[in-house]
Amino acid sequence: MESPIKYILTWDEAFQSGSQVSGGKGWNLARLARYGFKIPRGIVLATRAYHEFIKYNQLQESAWTWMKKRFLQGN
């Protein structure tokens, strides 16, 4: 039986999952926590959860339009 997909990760789970699963910021915060730095309590939203949310809500085009306006045109 296939294990269920985890969308919310603890710092330890994010560290073990790597940046592909937990995203760059989540993974780096998890690394800091792992090596003893004081990190506020929190969770990491898996990258898959974000991508599925965007797709389910049909936000791909509006997200791209926003990014294009903000970053590519310098506004």
Per-residue pLDDT tens over the stretch 40-73 = 999 999 999 999 998 998 888 887 788 788 887 7
Q: Taking the domains of the chain in order of start, what are their residue ranges?
A: 8-72
Measured CA to CA, the distance from residue 74 to residue 13 in angstroms comes to 37
pLDDT at 39: 92
